[in-house]
Amino acid sequence: MTAALLVMIGLGLLLGLVLGVAALKFKVEGDPLIEQIDAILPQTQCGQCGYPGCKPYATAIAGGEADINQCPPGGEAGVKMLADLLGVEPKPLNAEHGVPKPKSVAVIDENTCIGCTLCIQACPVDAILGAAKQMHTIIAAECTGCELCLAPCPVDCITMEPLGEDIAHWKWRYPVVPLKVIPIQVAA
């Protein structure tokens, strides 16, 4: 009995030591998990999740502080990918953080813009071009559709335009072949 106890304790200590040494010796610089989570996030930097950007949200998920269903732009597909990565059950998006919307870009009404630069300061990806007292414009290709520029605008001259489908971005649809249900007839 005592011998068994001692052996177990000894084993525990020994393995603990090995693990401790391994943890020090094979320590990975940076946290690849955060990078991996960040790679899944859509990088809109919209802050709808409650964090100031995608990277902070990724850090929060990795740290167990945030749930995986707080990113509306990532949609259900994003939640599923996060669930796969983290080995947890996927769950529906948390409506508190908003609902997924079609991909849009911000457009500045150039007649109304007063050139206050407030939107430029708000844009997380520097997609707004302009200077004080100069009319601003949005580089559509860089805009993530985060809507962060809408609130600061004192004259409400920014609107979100959904991205329409054109020939270059058109996609083939999933083939939906209706499975016609035929009422049961004489079974054999």
Partner 1 sequence: MSLNLGQIFKFAGGVHPPEHKVESTEQPIRTVPLPKTLVLPLRQHIGHIPKILVKVGDHVLKGQLLAEAHGHVSAAVHASTSGTITAIDEQVIPHPSGLPDLSITLQADGKDEWLKHAPLDYQNMERAELIRRIAESGIVGLGGATFPTHVKLRPDARHPVTTLILNGAECEPYITCDDLLMRERADEIIQGAAIMQRLLGSTECLIGLEDNKPQAVAAMNAAVAKANFNAKVVVVPTLYPSGDSRRLIALLTGKESPAKGRTTEIGVQCFNVATAQTLYRFIAHGETVVSRIVTITGNVARPGNYDALLGTSVRDLLQAAGGIRDNTDDYVMGGPMMGFSLPSVDVPMTKAMNCVIASTPSLFPLAPMEMPCIRCVACADACPVNLQPQELYWYSKSNNLEKADEYQLFDCIECGCCSYVCPSHIPLVQYYRYAKSETIAQDRAKQAADQARIRNEERLERIEREKQERAKKHAERTAKAETAGDDNEKKAAIEAAMARAKAQKETVIPQNTEAVSPTVAAEIASVDAARAKAAEKTE
Partner 2 sequence: MKFSPFFTTNTSVSVVMLKVMLALVPGIIAYVWAFGYGIVVSLILASATALLAEAAVLQLRKRPVMPFLLDGSALVTAWLLALALPPLAPWWLVVVGTLFAIIIAKHLYGGLGQNPFNPAMIGYAVLLISFPAIMTQWPAPLELTSAKLSFVDQWHYIFNRALPTGIGLDAMSSATPLDYLKTQLMLHHPIETIAQAKFFGTFAGKGADIVAGAYLLGGLYLLHQRVISWHIPTAFLVTLALISGVFHLVNPAQFASPLFHLFGGATMLCAFFIATDPVSGATTPNGKLIFAAGIALLTWLIRTYGGYPDGVAFAVLLMNIFVPLIDANTQPRVFGHSK
Residues that bind partner 2 (CB under 8 A): 175, 179-182, 184-185, 187-188
Q: Is 7 exposed, middle or buried (0-12, 13-18, 19+ CB in 10 A)?
A: exposed
Shortest CB 170 distance to partner 1, Å: 4
* Half-sphere exposure at residue 59, Cβ-oriented, CA atoms within 13 angstroms: 8
Q: For residue 13, what is the enclosing H or E element? A: helix 2-25
Does residue number 142 form part of the binding site for partner 1 (CB under 8 A)? yes
Nearer to partner 1 among residue 96 and residue 166 (C-beta): 166
β-pair partners for 159: 107
**CB 166, min distance to partner 2, A:** 20
**Residue 42 CB, nearest distance to partner 1 (Å)?**
6
Q: Please report the beta strands in the chain, taking only residues with DSSP state E, as ranges in sequence order.
A: 104-108, 128-129, 137-138, 158-162
Tell me how far apart the 2 most distant CA atoms of the chain are, in Å: 88
Q: How far is the CB of 165 from partner 2 (least distance, A)?
A: 16
Minimum CB distance to partner 2 smaller for 141 or for 181: 181
Footprint of partner 1 on this chain (CB under 8 A)? 38, 41-45, 53-55, 124-127, 142, 144, 165-167, 169-175, 177, 179-180
